[in-house]
Every structure is written in structure tokens, then in C-alpha cells.
Amino acid sequence: AAWKLAKNALGDAVIRAPYDGQVTMRMVNLGGYVDAMTHPVLLVMVDNSRLRLTLKLSEVRAAFLSPGDEIEVYLPSNEKHLTTKIEVLTDSVDAATHTRTAIAWLDNTGPDAVPGGVFFEARIMPSALKGKILLPASSIRTEADGSWSAYLAEGNKAARTELTGKFLADHSEFIVENGVKPGDRVIAEASMVRDGQAIIVGGAKESEATPEAGKSAEETK
């Protein structure tokens, strides 16, 4: 009986967590005396096997997103690249910042697991914009008749090309339907050139036409 009591007492002296996790706060030091009155909480531990990613997105960009859209995540803290998908996209818009919130989850197990609270970079490919080309507004010229055009760097000359498409609601970028194809070199400042003007490509400010993907930097929780 005495042996069983001693064994139980020894077992009570060992604290085991009900799950794997990471200690985020410790209220006692090794070798210190503790009791239920003065130390009701010894430490705080969280299960970080899955990280919740919280992204704040402009309402204009968020309009092209939907749950299930793919997110490429880069964690600078350990130079890790991961892929996940948007699981929740709020309908409400923050009146102060004009943003909507997207939430995704990342598996975070193994030796390369990172702590919660780290910042990350995210590149989102909206399914609604896959295969589309977006150009900066500065590269678009609005003609007198209301049509749009841009200038391509062809050899050592600027070549005007007519565009069809539309601007984003905030007028920051133009979604190209026709007139530019992937790989074209677009002059980023349309107001500075005219059709046939000689240019120096090495010193020109250009924007290479590529299918668009959004980008955001936020914090995991």
C-alpha cells in the first residue's frame, strides 16, 4: 500500500500535456516551489500543429477572390514555401481600412514548424483572373474617343497597341482582354512616349505582361 501511495505521489509530480504543442508563456523557474494558491497557472501552451493565416485584402482585390482560391505562402523566418487555399472570405468590409478578411490554414508539424504570430508573404491566384493580364494604370492611355491604348517596346521603338478590357474599381490596374499577350514588354509610363518614338530598352521603364496574382503580407495567429 505504501509503495502504491509513493508511486501515485510521484506520478502526480509529473505534468503531462493532453496534446503536443509549444510553451508560449512560463510563470515558474526550474527548481522553484509551486502550490495551487500562489501558482494557479504554471505555463501556457498552444497547439500550433495548424496555423491560421489571416489576410487583410483590399475590397477591390477581394471582389475577384472566392473560397478555394490557391495561396502561395512564404515564411521569411525559415525561408519555407507552402501552399494552401482560402477557406473563409468575409462579406463585410472594414469601414476604416476598406479591407475584407480572408482566412486559411497551414499544417505546421515536423522539425521545421514555426511559432504562431510570425509574419508571412502570400501570393494569391484569383480563379476569376487566371490567364488574365493586368497592367498598371500608368501604362494605359485613354484616347479622345474613350478607347484605351498602351505602348510596347519593339526593338528600339515604341509601338502603340489598342486595348480592350476594363480598369479595376480603384483604377489602379487595367485587366487586358485583347491587345497585349504574355511576354510583351509594355512601357510603364504611356504619357512619356508616342507611337514610333525611338527608345533605349535598357534604360526604359518597362512592365512585362504576365498573368496576374495578388500579393499580401499579414500575420499568422
The domains of the chain, with CATH numbers, are 2-46 (no CATH), 50-130+216-220 (2.40.30.170), 133-210 (2.40.420.20)
DSSP label at residue 30: T
pLDDT of residue 215: 41
Cell digits for 181?
499577350
What is the pTM for the complete model shown?
Answer: 0.59
pLDDT digits (tens, 9 = 90+) for 92-140: 999 999 999 999 998 888 777 777 778 888 888 788 888 889 999 999 9
Whether residue 66 contacts residue 47, with contact meaning beta carbons closer than 8 Å, is answered with: no
Q: Considering the chain, what is the average pLDDT of its residues?
A: 84
Whether residue 206 contacts residue 188, with contact meaning beta carbons closer than 8 Å, is answered with: yes
The confidence band for 163, taking pLDDT boundaries of 50, 70 and 90, is very high
Query: Does the pLDDT at position 85 exceed 90?
Result: yes
Evaluated on CA atoms 192, 195, 200, 203, the torsion sign reads positive
Give the Cα separation of 194 and 183 in Å (integer).
21
Of the candidates 149, 206, 153, the one whose C-alpha atom is nearest the C-alpha of residue 176 is 149
Dihedral-angle region of residue 191 (phi above 0 means left; psi in -120 to 50 means alpha; beta otherwise): alpha
